[in-house]
A = this chain, B = another copy of it.
């Protein structure tokens, strides 16, 4: 997926931070933290997931559409993006 070693490390670090946030929600639930606090942590994960999605979208558009090796690859990369966008806009 990641298109350079540097991107790969950066994306994995980003996903690990999200995992840390999820573990925070698990702990908050176990400790019976106030409802409003848990809902705010959940909203915060949503923001982080949106940022990750946006980065993956850009990477994909760059690697599999702009820099596609052939017209067929470019068409295929574009079809995947359309499918993803449809999922989010359902």
Which residues of chain A have a CB within 8 Å of any CB of chain B?
1-2, 8, 11-12, 15-16, 18-19, 22-23, 25-26, 28-30, 32-40, 42-43, 45-46, 49-54, 56-66, 74-75, 77-78, 80-90
Least CB separation from A36: chain B residue: B80
Give the distance in Å from the alpha carbon of A56 to the alpha carbon of B30 in the complex: 14
B28 touches A19 (CB 8 A): no
A54 touches B85 (CB 8 A): yes
> What copy number does this chain have within its complex?
4
B49 touches A46 (CB 8 A): yes
**Given A26-B12, A46-B49; A66-B60 close (CB under 8 Å):** no
Give the distance in Å from the alpha carbon of A56 to the alpha carbon of B57 in the complex: 17
